[in-house]
Structure 1
Amino acid sequence: MSAWYEESFGEDYLRVYNYRDEQGAAREVHEMISWLRLDPGAKVLDLCCGMGRHSLSLAEKGYDVTGMDLSEVLLDEAKKEPEADRIRWVQGDMRELPFADGEFDAVVNLFTSFGYFEQDDEHIRVLKEIRRVLRPGGRFIIDFMNPPYVQRHLKPYTEREDDGLKIEERRKIEDGFVKKHITILPEQAGNGQRREYDERVKLYTREAFAHLLAQAELELGEVRGSYDEKHYEKESPRMIFVGKRL
């Protein structure tokens, strides 16, 4: 049986998450650049790059960007974008990065592209791989959900229509994970089959995530609450971890 992340990031993912936009990515990259303090032309890995919104924006700012993702469908979408040929696109698993030791000046992992696995050891393995491919002193950003915010704002059920399809999303917190069940239904009988997907992300607290980073020998510098907030607070929508490899 395939893991959920091997099945969910296909053609239907493009429909479920079609509200993400390039302008938002550009704003986030503008903030990230000031946190990373990179030299012009620095080598940046966008780990779990998806459709490449942040990779493209980073390349536009003059960085040497590699975008890596497990999903060939999402990478194919990224390659269709204008200026996509400025970026090296790589398919791979975040637990075993296909890059040389110390290859990058920075690694960014954005929009909760972490916490996909069952065991803490697998998440530590990802962080150790991030450390391995960073040069000494290289910096990282990991943008993750904030558990208290999720617990307060989780919507158990939403639905919407998109291009003749009804998209239903059911969410719950269970066994330390945020779980989402997605159902895609044709609005009219005979126009397609019902499709269902599951997503599951480990709900790490700020303290637990900091402990994972320490186990991977990554130094945590600061935690921000969003791309607009300087410091993380319990009410913050995100936990954005910024640090470096010693």
Structure 2
Amino acid sequence: MPAPEALVITDPVLRACLDDGPPDIGSLWELCMLFEFDREAVADGIAAWLGDPAGQRVLDCACGSGFPALQLVRRGYDVTCTDGSELMLRHFRRNAKDAGLAVEPSLLLWSELPRRHAGEFDVVINRGGGNYKYAGAWEQEKLPDRGAMAEAIGQWVRCVRPGGRFYVDIASDSDAGGADSWETEHPPMLVGEHRVELTERIAVDRARGVRSWESRLVVDGTAHEFRRLSHSITSEELVQILRDCGLVDIRLTEVAGEHYDIYTAIRP
């Protein structure tokens, strides 16, 4: 049987990512975002929620490789970018340079944020399908206590000024129809000179509240395997954490371009 025809991808972010050496978890993240989101549409949706950029200070507290922070900067927003992974920030710096944006992110663990930025921001954003579920676990195969999620969110909330807004997301509870595991085989791609194939498998142990994300990324015929463990969390649990942080006006908010569930709130 002939190999399936590959999608031709002209995205300069992905090409630079794959030209930069052997793929890592940041490369995988970039490729997953390609299939899941239209970056510009998501940034437009977030900008519509944010409103006029004049006078607003925004913190992206888990900026990763730069989406959507760099898109928001290009739209005129004053965005401070932090992340606890130097590997992800290496991708961020390359993407910022390629976009012609003079944005320098800070390497900060979530626990360090309040000491640096307590009460500073009009808006704090944590976007990425519930990054908090990786609290204390992104770089290792051992999960901390589930309380780490609430602790991380509480640290971000402390960076919101009184009266400011908080934006956080979660993968929809209806994803994959409530199945305990599912596999996605993405269409093969041609990114510049690179042929790329990607398969993802998600498994959720609901009794233990544990989620695993396993990926097989084949670039130019060489396979690379990735695995990340995280907590599994429901929207009801997330809303309760936001209440416990003292936030008010907690609501499920429609944001154009997103397929995550977005919750927004105000720090009184």
TM-score range, shorter chain: 0.7 to 0.9
State the partner residue of 1:204: 233
Distance 1:26 1:160, change over 3 A: closer
User: Secondary structure of 1:107's match?
Assistant: strand
CA shift for structure 1 position 166: 5.0
For 2:149 and 2:75, the matched residues in 1 are separated by 30
More off after superposition, 38-47 vs 51-60: 38-47
User: Secondary structure of 1:114's match?
Assistant: helix
Return the letter of the residue paired with 1:44: V
The answer to whether residue 211 in structure 2 is matched with residue 178 in structure 1 is yes
The answer as to whether partners of 1:223 and 1:239 remain within 8 angstroms in 2 is yes
Among candidates 92, 105, 120, match of residue 89 of structure 1? 105
Deviations 1:164-192 (A, max 9, x none): 5654432211132331122345765xxx6
The answer as to whether partners of 1:108 and 1:141 remain within 8 angstroms in 2 is yes
For 2:257 and 2:68, the matched residues in 1 are separated by 17
State the partner residue of 1:218: 247
For 2:224 and 2:68, the matched residues in 1 are separated by 29
Among candidates 33, 47, 72, match of residue 33 of structure 1? 47
Distance 1:88 1:166, change over 3 A: closer
Among candidates 77, 102, 113, match of residue 63 of structure 1? 77
Distance 1:100 1:32, change over 3 A: same
Return the letter of the residue paired with 1:91: L
CA shift for structure 1 position 57: 1.7
Higher RCO structure (Cα 8 Å, ≥6 apart): 2
For 1:16 and 1:32, the matched residues in 2 are separated by 20
User: Secondary structure of 1:115's match?
Assistant: helix
The answer as to whether partners of 1:115 and 1:201 remain within 8 angstroms in 2 is yes
User: Secondary structure of 1:147's match?
Assistant: coil
> Structure 1: which 5+ residue stretches go unaligned?
1-9, 230-236
Count of residues in Structure 1 that have an aligned counterpart in Structure 2: 224
For 1:150 and 1:201, the matched residues in 2 are separated by 18
For 1:90 and 1:137, the matched residues in 2 are separated by 25
Q: CA RMSD in A?
A: 2.9
**TM-score, length basis structure 2:** 0.71
User: Secondary structure of 1:52's match?
Assistant: coil
- Paired-residue identity, %: 22
User: Secondary structure of 2:68's match?
Assistant: helix
> Structure 2: which 5+ residue stretches go unaligned?
1-22, 136-142
The answer as to whether partners of 1:65 and 1:88 remain within 8 angstroms in 2 is no
For 1:41 and 1:57, the matched residues in 2 are separated by 18
CA shift for structure 1 position 30: 2.3
State the partner residue of 1:100: 117
Distance 1:17 1:88, change over 3 A: closer
CA shift for structure 1 position 16: 5.5
For 2:41 and 2:184, the matched residues in 1 are separated by 29
User: Secondary structure of 1:227's match?
Assistant: coil
For 1:53 and 1:227, the matched residues in 2 are separated by 16
For 2:80 and 2:104, the matched residues in 1 are separated by 5
